[in-house]
Amino acid sequence: MSSITVRPTVVPGRYGSYGGRYVPESLIPACEAVAEAFSEAWADPGFRGTLGALLSAYAGRPTPLTPALRLSAELGVTVLLKREDLTHTGSHKINNVLGQALLARRMGRTRLIAETGAGMHGVATATAGALLGLPVKVFMGERDMERQAHNVFRMRLLGAEVVPVTTGSRTLKDATSEAMRHWVTDADEAYYCVGSVIGPHPYPTMVREFQRVIGDEARRQCAAELPAAIPDYVVACVGGGSNAAGTFAGFVETSAKLVGVEAEGGSGAANGEIGVLHGFQSLFLQDEHGQIKEAHSIAAGLDYPGVGPEHAYLRDLGRARYVTVSDGEAIAAAVRLARAEGVLPAIESAHAVAWVVRAAGTPELPGGSTVLVTLSGRGDKDITTLIAEADLA
């Protein structure tokens, strides 16, 4: 595949027909303020230097690129793991949150609000709030609070207020809706720290830029590790899609084939149709009347009915391919990676591993290929689910 330049089209915040800013008039000034502040901050060496120093000394970057030697031998492909599970707080979410928390402080905002599904974005936001002295309020679906009680405790331990969301499916979609409603009432003082490449402009682009440290690091590491410098395939799980967007940013203009792996029950990119939700236009699961359908995934972080606008654009261009994995495949992949490499991935990340396991040695992923897999988070948070679902025989 030849390299391709992928940029938003001329209209700011647009990726082809996707993206944009579909919010109540009362939120337009808040979105414009974030866009202006981010543009200025991202061009400021002082801001980027402060963020870089925090990512290094506080978050633990760069994260290693780990050859999965035993799994590679079993599958007949060379698997390299980008270890976002080794960051402070245990996932890629800290990359984005440190950037947005610094931006909030630069804007003079006095508190942070956030949504969370698996709880990792909530934990990262609570962590950044504690670090910078900013109060944090996190909205989380009641169902997700039950299955991610470990992370709920972590957020509260860090001083955050966790607000149960009891409407709808009581998962990530509804938590995001509630966070946006709260932002409408408090936009002058509160900063909405969006957790993925979703939401109104500038959030999809901004979050991608804060997460591109994953792909930029991995590109340099692959150049040192691989004779060809570039892996044949770059694979990441996709819910809203921030870890994938950050990873793909380092490789989108190379020959690497990009593969986003969605939950079978949350496959916005693979099976969605154009619609609008949470302030942006993209691909969403919808019924015959155009109403947003409920997503389902055993991984709370993938339990979202749509996908970020850049992913929809990459799909339409044919630059990235989006596939699905079942709950059972993801659980089995988590167990297999743990036993083959001593690495327990988050169930979200295990979706990416599951596709590699399934596709290896087929025309989708020919034998002898090199594959970079982003492990977006560690599996400690999923122990209760794994106890109930994993076959350890």
Q: Please say if 39 is a catalytic residue.
A: no
- Measured CA to CA, the distance from residue 384 to residue 387 in angstroms comes to 5
Q: Please say if 137 is a catalytic residue.
A: no
Identified catalytic residue from 84, 115, 341, 348:
115
Q: Please say if 264 is a catalytic residue.
A: no
Identified catalytic residue from 82, 93, 257, 381:
93
Catalytic residues: 93, 115, 376
